[in-house]
Chains A and B, each alone.
Chain A
Amino acid sequence: MADPVITSAVRVRGLTRTFGTRRVLRDVDLDIAGGEFVALLGRSGSGKSTLLRVLAGLDREVRGEVDVPGTVSVAFQQPRLLPWRRVWRNVSLGLRGVDGRAVAVKALAEVQLAGHAEAWPLTLSGGEAQRVSLARALVREPDVLLLDEPFGALDALTRLAMHALVERLWNTHRPAVLLVTHDVDEALLLADRVLVLDDGHVITEHRVDLARPRDRGSLVDLRAEVLADLGVDRETT
């Protein structure tokens, strides 16, 4: 799979994406090292989801260099499970046709859903379905895991549990992660590096050199800085 010579899991140079006359991504450079956790912050319309779609290979109408040599998995904002396949079959979809029931159940156990292997997706709660979606993304041992606001549709309590889960899964499997989000706290809690995307361009980058698991208290200063980058005043937060 991963060639030892390859040091970066994602390498993007001069990426530009235009929709009609609108330039959604302008000359973006991005490197993600193998096993690195990067968060991409931005307001709606900043182009962050477009960038993720390009990395996922879903959008090829681009100019510039995009190099993602390894296996890529995506977890979307909606779990996008096939409702007519049982939960474990949805997970083994990640293995493409291989009848990997044992592997799928093991992946479900990692997200605490081994007991739901035989369930139908429509019987799951939003958080459970999203965990199945994570299991499906991880079961193929990706080199790069792209997370497109995967907690956006969940309630606050479930989201906290999901943060801890994602951190643990990342520790176990060590894929390079690109987390697209508009939640500053989420980005700072999880990522090694936080990029702020504005108007199609990466405007700043923050390294988060804090031990994990992080607590929110230690993030206050960094949080203010990032919010300022996003154009949010301290008074309004």
Chain B
Amino acid sequence: MSISTTGVLARPRTADARPDPPAKKRRPPDLRRWISPVALVLLWQAASSTGVLPPDELASPVTVARAAVDLAVDGELGSAFAVSLRRVAVGFVLGAAAGLALGLLAGLSRWSETLVDPPVQMLRTLPHLGLIPLFILWFGIGEEPKIALIACGVAFPLYLNLHSGIRQTDPDLLEAARVLGYTRAERVRHVVLPSAVPQTLVGLRIALGTAWLSLIVAEQVNADAGIGHLINNAREFLRTDVVVVGLLVYALLGLTTDALVRGLERRVLRWQTR
């Protein structure tokens, strides 16, 4: 699995640069695209029903659905969900605060950049998921190492994208603001920060993807609650149906946050539509 944390310049920055061609109008969904996914699920069900796929290797779709309903009804799924969500939320807030603060510092001041950027660039080459052993030694096996891992995954992409977004501010626009008599603080507010927003949002999406990934890895280690705990417990009892339910919940959480960021982008970047 590879998640890129490097900055991606996804959008034009100046009034003169022509942005991407207009986004395609939303067309009614092409139902034919559902044919093969549905066929695969049916095939899976058929393999399970005929015994080709034994339930201790992979439960059938119907069993998975039943397990999901059972877990939801007795509240086990809800409480596991809440624990996992809290971990991601706390880790995200801490990581985002660190990443954004350092990104602003390095972006707005040459001296801070000289001091901050080299160590951050070196650290980001470490695969952060590999830090688990150290985090366990430092923080024990409670909530702290999990939250720290998620915070690390969030901080780096936000730092990198905010920093490079600020650095890519169009000097022509800054000059125009200078001619209008804008002070440095006003130029930062009206020109620099708004022009860093598109790339920071790219960073936000990468950060959220990394946050969920970090959660999943962190919860494989000594989780006594949460979705990961649910999955590990189920493994002990060969409950492949519950394992699949846990995986589906992870996937849904990831999709939901991604959709939220997309919504945010549409709103914040509506000036890019033409």
Contacts and interface: CB of A to CB of B under 8 A. Distances in A.
A129 B15 contact: yes
A81 B15 contact: yes
A76 interface: yes
A80 B271 contact: no
B168 interface: no
Among all A-B residue pairs, the 3 with the closest Cβ atoms = A80-B176, A84-B194, A120-B271
Interface in A122-139: 122-123, 129, 136
A83 B179 contact: no
B15 A79 contact: yes
Given A73-B179, A78-B172, 16 more contacts: A57-B179, A58-B178, A72-B179, A74-B179, A78-B15, A79-B15, A79-B16, A82-B173, A83-B14, A84-B194, A84-B197, A85-B190, A93-B177, A97-B186, A122-B272, A123-B274
A237 B176 CA distance: 36
Interface in B166-182: 172-173, 175-182
B15 A80 contact: yes
B94 interface: no
A22 interface: no
Contacts of A73: 179-180
29 contacts: A56-B179, A57-B179, A58-B175, A58-B178, A72-B179, A73-B179, A73-B180, A74-B176, A76-B172, A76-B176, A78-B16, A80-B173, A81-B15, A82-B15, A82-B173, A82-B191, A83-B14, A83-B272, A84-B195, A84-B197, A86-B271, A96-B180, A96-B181, A120-B271, A120-B273, A121-B15, A121-B271, A122-B15, A122-B271
A82 B274 contact: no
A94 interface: yes
A24 B273 CA distance: 42
Nearest to A120: B271
Given A78-B172, A121-B15, A83 B271 contact: yes
